[in-house]
Amino acid sequence: MAVQKNSCRDPATPAPRGRGTTARPDSRFSAWQRAPFDDGWDGPPPEAPQTELAVDRARHVITFNRSPDIPFDRSINPYRGCEHGCSYCFARPSHAYLDLSPGIDFETRITWKPDAAEVLRRELARPGYRCAPIALGVNTDAYQPVERRLGVTRGILEVLAETRHPVHLITKSALVERDADLLAGLARDGLVQVMFSVTTLDDGLARRMEPRAARPLRRLAAMRTLAQAGVPVGVLFAPLIPAVNDHEMEAVLAAGREAGAESGGYVLLRLPRELKEIFGDWLQTHCPDRARHVLSVLAQTRGGRLNDPRFGHRMRGEGAFAEIYRQRFARACERLGLNRTRRALDVTRFRPPRRETPQLSLFES
């Protein structure tokens, strides 16, 4: 498949290799804020900072929401922060709650939940728990690079498979192939769907926007592997960035369909809070010739602002440009046969885990 090259270029002074930004805006909750200052001296090129891990001992791992914009009311995030380093990630501002920077700290200072599977087991065993699909890895990717050695997501999936609990997965990592055995078993009972986020088919652009995520073609290969194992998969074109990757919508959806996707979706770029500065800096570094145009078009889809947090508007936007995107997406899906059926995950097979107790079961010998 021919890939249209994007003119966003490599900068003269790039971010450290494997990192998405050099910006370090302070947490908005800090008592003071730092301002950059150029003293005229050119320092050495920045070295790639190493990932630092911190343990998060959470009392709960299931987070509930009431958003009408998403098709689930609960989710689990094994990690806070994400090594993928995506310059546009809407979750970056959440790092401020840890008193860390949504910039480089978000991709280098990661917290993880080593007892997530144990805590989940307790939550699912509560008498008042009512089963509904859980979304895994929505805020930050559950299959980011540190998962390869920590295995938190694998442990969570093992609990969900044991209890026959339905789960939605969203990822841009090929590491999900590792868990094909669990996912195939869940799929046989209609308990899982995996969405792959594919932002571009241009390796060069992907390397600059999401430096530690799997290559686009590698994600598509992982999608094909799961589809061949009987796992329902879909392709998510997210985020759609005006004048950067919007021209690739149809090509990405077609590539996903070819790899086995039966559903598709897209999300217009969101720039909440500190993300305006971080992504704006990325634009000035990589696409200086079009930075103003990108932000101008985005503002036209957000009522004159760079972010619109209102339910019903934040994912797709409004106005002429947003309507064009909607029509293009609908026509592409119709032509490719995407979204012809909607899978409803089965909640009737759920069986709560056995509660830990020294007392034997009535029927246990």
| pLDDT tens for each residue of 191-214 | 999 999 999 999 999 999 999 999
- What pLDDT is recorded for position 362? 54
Phi-psi label, residue 358: left if phi above 0, alpha if psi -120 to 50, beta otherwise: alpha
Which helix (H) or strand (E) is 136 found in, with range?
strand 134-136
pLDDT interval class at 282 (50, 70, 90): very high
Query: 277 near 93, Cβ under 8 Å?
Result: no
pLDDT in tens, 26-72: 666 555 555 554 545 555 555 668 899 999 988 899 999 888 888 88
User: What pLDDT shows up at residue 46?
Assistant: 58
Mean pLDDT of 94-116: 92
- For residues 230 and 191, the answer to whether their CB atoms sit within 8 Å is no
- pLDDT of res. 3: 45
- Which of 3.40.1160.10, 3.20.20.70, 1.10.3720.10, 1.20.120.420 is the CATH number of 52-269? 3.20.20.70
More confident residue, 130 or 6: 130
Query: Which pLDDT value is given to residue 33?
Result: 56
pLDDT at residue 358 greater than cutoff 60 = no
Q: Rounded CA gap, 189 and 235, in Å?
A: 22
Q: What pLDDT is stored for residue 43 in this prediction? A: 58
* More confident position, 72 or 326: 326
pLDDT at site 237: 98
pLDDT of residue 2: 44
Percent of the chain with pLDDT over 90: 72
Sheet holding 52-55, edge to edge: 52-55, 109-112, 79-80
Every domain of the chain and the residues it spans:
52-269
* φ and ψ of 268, to 5 deg: -70, 140
| pLDDT exceeds 80 at position 318 | yes
Instruction: State the pLDDT at residue 111.
Output: 96
Handedness of CA 335, 340, 345, 349 (dihedral sign): negative
Contact criterion met (CB below 8 Å) for 241 and 294: yes
**Number of helices followed by number of strands (H, E) in the chain:** 11, 10
pLDDT in tens, 229-279: 999 999 999 999 999 999 999 999 999 999 999 999 999 999 998 899 999
What digits encode the pLDDT tens for the residues 144-192? 999 999 999 999 999 999 999 999 999 999 999 999 999 999 999 999 9
- The pTM (predicted TM-score) of the whole model is 0.87
Phi, psi of 127 (to 5 degrees): -60, -30
What confidence tier does 130 reach under pLDDT thresholds 50, 70, 90?
very high
